[in-house]
Chain A
Amino acid sequence: MSNKVYKINDSKAISETIDGETIIINLETGFYYSVNKTATVIWNEIKNSNSIKNISQIFLNHFEVDINTAEKSVSEIIGLFLKDDLILELDSDIFPNIREQQTGIMKEIFIIPRIEKYDDMAGALLADPIHDVNEDGWPNLK
């Protein structure tokens, strides 16, 4: 499992978390996203520059989930964040620093992390044809 470190792409993505769920906006593309509670855990860990391995261990420590499901879920969500330029993969690894937690702690039911993407604002931003001014000069466009 990868120890690559990921961080938020601050130049493009802004986000706010409310009631444990998150809204992310890509200021460049106009796409925006709703992020459920477990995917918000991943997003918030990436805010602290963390790795798939560490985030998966956090899920194992706090949720009723097996290692395969945790790692697959984290990898998939990070893949989606990467694909849309919301996060960046750093050129460095970190050692796993999240340890397995002692037993006896009540764990939460694990809900598969999900993000929903909305594209209704994207059209306005993507329209970018080039045109000339007309014979009257600026700003009279053809």
Chain B
Amino acid sequence: MGINNPASHIVINKHLRITKKYFDEIVLPAFNDLTSSISPVRKIYDIAGKTICMNFYSEKLLEKMSKAFAHIEKDSADTPDLTIYIWDSVSTKTHLASPWLNQEEYTYPGEVNAKTINLDSFLGIYLNGEETLNLYDEKNNTAYFWIYNADNLLYRVSASPLRSILNWFLSKEGVHLMHGAVIGFNGKSILLTAKGCSGKSTTALSCLFSGMDYLGDDYVAIKYSDVITTHCIFSSAKLSPQSLYGSFPALQDKIWNENGMEKENEKAIVFLMELYHRQIIRQAPLQAIMIPVIKNVEKTNIVQASKIQTMLSMIPYTLFQLSLTKSDKMAELKSIVERTPCYFLELGYDLNGAAETIKSFLTNGQ
């Protein structure tokens, strides 16, 4: 038998929600085989105050998935709050049978974005498009990430790895992974939230080049407590090649996926930790939420936005891009919006001017 079952089973091209039965009957035995023959490389990270251990059984996945976490790596013997096991079948020469071999028992019918019912303290999803298996066993504080061939890991997954698993785990801890960019200055931070191609990443990078702090440009975490704080989870930047070459020539020779951009029709990815480590900060109190809007004006302006406009910019993308997000996340994100001043960031032509406007906003304590 080959590495995988060669049967030509029909696959529905959508995300598949995976049952605990598949985890118990298929994944755990395969994982036990793996651990009997291979020792992992162990990395420890501090993610929003939680100690997360990642055990890499594939060198290629270590190379591709650890760069985004470089800013939060730590040496620690603490008992991890979560341990994630990461491997692929090809490089480890191990087998994992597909979850749809026994469709009725191993996958849930219906739409994965429907309201989550977490009966077994277990969440699992096979993500169509990136072809990865993501499993979270809440009771045992463990998670499993698998891809058939590490060579096929998409570059965009390298920019923000393990999104589903981290989203599930952090939600339980009152920390919300969400779609947005965060920049900081003067010990405070601003969440930029909007749909794709609205200027989030460009604004965040222009702020970085103006000397401001950077906490992420695509996915960030927000912790709801007495003081709402933003947390940098992925120290990567993702930009269209045109924006990068046009606006940030200093990054041209730092693109990590130069060979893959054309192949995957992907954005350019730059890992910022090695280049700007002093400006990559782990966390900061949230001062305001801003919705970037590209305007045909010279000067960037900050104007009041309503709470509902902010919710519309922030919530649908977060809920739909992070699979199996519990629907109560919407209420929790609403609480953050209720307590935080909200604005439109009307972006002018001059990128440096935009950064200076935001810097002035944070300095003057509005």
| Smallest CB gap from A16: residue in B | B334
- A129 interfacial contact with B, CB 8 Å: yes
List chain B residues, Cβ under 8 A from A129: 13
Q: Interface residues of B toward A: which range?
A: 35 or more
| Smallest CB gap from A137: residue in B | B4
- A105 interfacial contact with B, CB 8 Å: no
- B30 interfacial contact with A, CB 8 Å: no
List chain B residues, Cβ under 8 A from A109: none
- Quick check: A138 and B5 within 8 Å, CB to CB? yes
- B249 interfacial contact with A, CB 8 Å: no
- B312 interfacial contact with A, CB 8 Å: yes
- With contact pairs A21-B308, A23-B315, A25-B330 given, residues A127 and B13 touching in the complex (Cβ less than 8 Å): yes
- Selected contact of B13 from candidates A25, A118, A130, CB within 8 Å: A130
- Quick check: A19 and B307 within 8 Å, CB to CB? yes
- Selected contact of A130 from candidates B5, B12, B98, B148, CB within 8 Å: B12
- B322 interfacial contact with A, CB 8 Å: no
- Quick check: B330 and A118 within 8 Å, CB to CB? no
- Quick check: A139 and B131 within 8 Å, CB to CB? yes
- B2 interfacial contact with A, CB 8 Å: yes
List chain A residues, Cβ under 8 A from B10: 130, 132
- Quick check: A16 and B307 within 8 Å, CB to CB? no
List chain A residues, Cβ under 8 A from B5: 137-138
- Quick check: B311 and A132 within 8 Å, CB to CB? no
- Selected contact of B320 from candidates A23, A125, A128, A132, CB within 8 Å: A125
For B96-110 the 0/1 string (1 means CB < 8 A from A) is 011010000000000
- A1 interfacial contact with B, CB 8 Å: no
Interface residues of B in 1-18 (CB under 8 A from A): 2-14
List chain A residues, Cβ under 8 A from B188: none
Interface residues of A in 6-21 (CB under 8 A from B): 11-12, 14, 16, 18-19, 21
List chain A residues, Cβ under 8 A from B113: 27-28, 30, 125
- B147: shortest Cβ distance to chain A, in Å? 8
List chain A residues, Cβ under 8 A from B319: 25, 27
- A121 interfacial contact with B, CB 8 Å: yes
- Selected contact of B327 from candidates A27, A121, A131, A132, CB within 8 Å: A27
List chain A residues, Cβ under 8 A from B12: 128, 130
List chain B residues, Cβ under 8 A from A30: 113, 316, 320
Interface residues of A in 104-135 (CB under 8 A from B): 118, 120-121, 124-125, 127-133, 135
C-alpha spacing A137/B316, complex, angstroms:
35
List chain B residues, Cβ under 8 A from A16: 311, 315, 330-331, 334
- Quick check: B308 and A11 within 8 Å, CB to CB? no
- B359 interfacial contact with A, CB 8 Å: no
C-alpha spacing A73/B283, complex, angstroms:
48
| Smallest CB gap from A32: residue in B | B316
What are 10 A-B interface contacts by the 8 Å CB criterion? A12-B114, A16-B331, A18-B308, A18-B311, A19-B307, A23-B312, A34-B312, A118-B312, A133-B8, A141-B13
Task: List the 7 shortest-distance A-B pairs measured between CB atoms, nearest first.
Answer: A138-B98, A137-B4, A21-B308, A18-B307, A137-B6, A16-B334, A14-B327
With A138-B98, A139-B4 given, name 19 new contacts (CB 8 A): A14-B327, A16-B311, A16-B331, A25-B315, A27-B113, A28-B111, A32-B312, A32-B315, A118-B316, A128-B12, A128-B13, A130-B10, A130-B12, A130-B13, A132-B10, A137-B3, A138-B11, A139-B11, A139-B148
Q: Taking beta carbons and an 8 Å cutoff, which residues of B are in contact with A?
A: 2-14, 97-98, 100, 111, 113-115, 126, 131, 148-149, 195, 306-308, 311-312, 315-317, 319-320, 327, 330-331, 334, 337-338
Q: Taking beta carbons and an 8 Å cutoff, which residues of A are in contact with B?
A: 11-12, 14, 16, 18-19, 21-23, 25, 27-28, 30, 32, 34, 118, 120-121, 124-125, 127-133, 135-141
